[in-house]
A and B are shown apart, each in its own frame.
Chain A
């Protein structure tokens, strides 16, 4: 079984500063993927970044980077130069890389508020 843990309470960050959102995971699979999604109040899940378990480099997508520490089973999201539009819920998720039932398992999410 796969499990995602997000324990941070609501996070606050000043506009233009960087913020780290924590995520730890547990799985017995050797090949898996880690995802971060953003969910604004509209409800849509917006894909931010992906990290494969065998990827040697940490993933980056624009202002988003994923700090992947496999031995510690952590996949923290770093948002640089925060913007007001970054205020939303953020979910960490994982899945098996391929195959049937490669569903997404989500954490409970973290609320991020960006202050002007």
Chain B
């Protein structure tokens, strides 16, 4: 079975721009979560999707938005990028709403 894949692996954007990060969940997984990990910190929960509906959100502003598609892949969109948005963005998937998560390798976003 394939794991969680994220694209792109690295990205450089200018402050004020918009960015879209993509995630393909592990086969059979219908729940996807996104996390932001600043340098030297633990990951922080952004939001979670279950069967195409957002069913949990962390303390992130509305300019962080997402989608989950019928094949359970997902996108994270960030508008009006700020320098503090520079981080590793991790996607994680699992089957249902219980149990362990499988993580992707992340997208490293740099905002200049």
Contact = CB atoms under 8 A, between A and B. Distances in A.
Interface of A: 4, 33, 35, 37, 42-47, 50, 91, 93, 97-109
B110 to A, nearest CB: 14
Contact of A106 (B42, B50, B104, B108): B42
What does DSSP make chain A's interface, helix, strand, loop or mixed? loop
B97 A100 contact: yes
B108 A43 contact: yes
B72 interface: no
Given A45-B43, A106-B43, A100 B55 contact: yes
A33 B101 CA distance: 12
Interface residues of B, number: 27
A103 B48 contact: yes
28 contacts: A35-B100, A42-B105, A43-B88, A43-B105, A43-B108, A44-B103, A44-B104, A44-B106, A45-B103, A47-B102, A50-B100, A98-B98, A99-B98, A100-B48, A100-B50, A100-B55, A100-B56, A103-B45, A103-B48, A103-B58, A104-B33, A104-B43, A104-B92, A104-B101, A105-B45, A106-B42, A108-B40, A108-B42
B68 to A, nearest CB: 14
Given A108-B42, A109-B42, A102 B98 contact: yes
Interface of B: 33, 35, 40-45, 48, 50, 55-56, 58, 88, 90, 92, 96-98, 100-106, 108
